[in-house]
Each structure stands twice: as C-alpha cells, then as structure tokens.
Amino acid sequence: MAGSSVVATVDVVEPLGPEIFLYLKAGSVDLVARVPAYVKAQEGKKMDLVFNLERMHLFDSETKKALLNPELKTFVPPAPVVKPLAV
C-alpha cells in the first residue's frame, strides 16, 4: 500500500460516543480522522495512519471544495491561483 500511510502527531482527541475525531498534524499538513471509540490516541503522541482510499475525503483548505471526484474516485487538483506581479 505505498503512499497510503503517514506518521502524524495527535493535536486533539475529541470523543463523540461511538467514535473519536482526531485532529492531527503530519509535517505542515493538518488532518482530521474519524475513528472508532476503541482507538487509543493521546495528544502529543505520534500515530501511524493508514488511509482507506475508497472512503477518504479531501478538501481544499481555502475553498472548502472536495478534491476527489466522488463518481470516479480520482484526484481533482484545485485550479492554480494566478496573482499579478507587482510592478
């Protein structure tokens, strides 16, 4: 499963009954993972995350738009932002 796992540091553990939301950081990337309540996670600790690519949702942090085509399950890169050069 090359490319479908990452090591991340747990920032926040939010128990919500039968599941937990984990707020994590992998390098400069912020992640949110929904996991079953039996997962043992501690703030400040590192975790190995293995992604189920069939169920993963990716969003652009600025536009909040989905980056996966839900029908094709393919990555749709955001449109590049073109900024005028200062003269």
Residue 33 contacts residue 21 (beta carbons within 8 Å): yes
Specify the CATH number for the domain of residue 9: 2.40.50.140
For residue 53, being part of any structural domain is answered with yes
- Better pLDDT: 53 or 80: 53
Q: CA 62 → CA 32, 47, 68, 79, distances in Å?
A: 16, 26, 15, 12
Name the more confident of 13 and 56: 13
Task: Answer whether residue 30 is part of any domain.
Answer: yes
Band of the pLDDT at 86, cuts 50, 70, 90?
Answer: low
Q: Which residues contact 34 (CB under 8 A, 6 or more apart)?
A: 19, 20, 21, 22
- Do the domain assignments include residue 80? no
What residues does 64 pair with on adjacent strands? none
Structural domains of the chain, count: 1
- What is the reported pTM? 0.64
- Has residue 86 been placed in a domain? no
Residue 85 lies in a domain: no
**Res. 12: pLDDT tops 80:** yes
Report pLDDT for 14. 94
